[in-house]
Amino acid sequence: MNRVPAIVLASTLTVLASLAIPSPSPAARSFGPDSIADLAEKAAPAVVNIDTVTRRQGAMTEFDPFFEFFGIPGNTQPRRPSEQRGVGSGFVLDASGLVVTNHHVITGSSGIKVTLQDGRSFEAKVVGQDPSSDLALLKIKASGLPTLRLAEAGRVRVGEWVVAIGSPLGLSTTVTAGIVSALNRDVAINERVAFIQTDAPINPGNSGGPLLNLEGEVIGVNTAIAARAQGIGFAIPVETVQSVTQQLRTTGRVERPWLGVMIEQLTPERARQLFVKTDPGVLVREVSEDSPAGKAGVLDGDVILQLDGKPVQTPSQLIQAVARRRVKEVVRLLVSREGQRKEFSVTLGAAPAPRPEPREGAADEPGNDGGR
C-alpha cells in the first residue's frame, strides 16, 4: 500500500473573541449532470452542519484560521481565556435523530449544535465516540428526519463517480463530485483504517460528511485531505462506519480486538542488526504481558509473515487485518523465529481501554476504546 504522510483533517476551526468486478449500478450507467442534481436534491436534507464550542483556559494565540490550518501561522498575540469554535459536517443515520460525524469534529467540545438543511438547530448529546476509527455518534431530539442509507460493503470500485456533501469552511450543503481514486490507502493519521481516496473536492469543514455513490448511499465518511496537494481526499470506508456505529449505538463504546504486540517494519538494515532473515514481514518488538499473542507463544523478535494465510508485509496491514476481526475470534499467525517457521493459533482479546480524553464541561462523557 502507498503511504501518504502529510495529512490534514478535513474539519475547520475558528477562534471566538478478489478481483470480481461488480456490474455498474443503474445510477452509474445513467450518470450525467442531471443525476448529480437529482442525487444532491435527495440526499442533502439528511446532511447536517455541526458547530462546536470548546472552552480554553489561559493565554492563547490569535491566528487566521484558514491559513493556520494549513500550517501558516498568524499573529501571536496572547489573549484572555475564551472559547474556540469549530465547524464540521455529519449525516442522519436514523430518523429518530442519530447523527454520524468524525470524532475529531466534536472531541473536547463543551457544546455541540446540529443544524438541519431546513434551518432547525438542536443541541446534540454524544451517544458514543471512537478515537481509534475517528467516528462519533450523536443524538438530537427530533423525529421523522430524512436519512442516508449505508452502502453494501465491498461494492466500491476505483474509478466510480462519487459525491461529497458537507460544510466546507462553514458553507453548509456544499456539493462536490469526483471519482474514487484508490482504495485501502494507508494514511499516516490512522493505521487502523484502510481509507478511500477520492478527488471529489474536500475542504476543512467537510469532516464527518458523507461520501456518496450515485445511488445516494454512503460509501464513506469524509475525514482528511493531503496537505500541499489538490484533489487528494480521504474517507473512512463504509465497512468501518457500519461496524463502529452499530457498537456505539448499542453500548456507547467500541470493543476492539487485541493481539498484544508492539511491531515495526522489518527493513534489511533492522534484519542485519537482529541477525534475522529479511523475509517480508513485521517484526515483533515487544509482546505485552498477559496478551493473547503472549499466551499463544509469540515471542519478542519473531517476524510475523502471515495472518490466516494472507501475507503481512507492513505494520498497517497487520493492524487493519486484526481490526477486521472480532474479540474472541481465533486467528492463525505464521511467524519466522531464528530461521524456523512456526504457526500459532491466537484467540483475540479485547483491547485495553485508553485513558479518557479531558473534556471540560462536555455535553456527554461516553466511554471509548483503543488498542491494537
What are the residue numbers of the active site? 104, 134, 207
User: Which DSSP state fits 33?
Assistant: H
Please provide the DSSP assignment of 273-337 as one string. Answer: HHT----SSEEEEEE-TT-HHHHHT--TT-EEEEETTEE--SHHHHHHHHHTS-TT-EEEEEEEE
Distance CA 201, CA 230 (A): 8
Distance CA 363, CA 124 (A): 8
Distance CA 348, CA 323 (A): 10
DSSP E strand stretches across 146-299: 161-166, 174-187, 194-198, 210-212, 218-226, 233-237, 257-258, 261-265, 282-287
User: Measured in whole angstroms, how far is the alpha carbon of residue 249 from the centre of its chain?
Assistant: 17
Distance CA 341, CA 333 (A): 10
CB 143 within 8 A of CB 160: no
Spatial CA neighbour of 234 closest among 4, 55, 24: 4
| Owner of C-alpha cell 523475509 | 279
* Secondary structure element (H or E) that encloses residue 12, with its range: strand 12-15
Characterize the bridge pairing of strands 330-337 and 303-307.
Answer: antiparallel
Characterize the bridge pairing of strands 349-350 and 261-265.
Answer: unpaired
Characterize the bridge pairing of strands 330-337 and 310-311.
Answer: unpaired
Which one-letter amino acid corresponds to residue 258? W
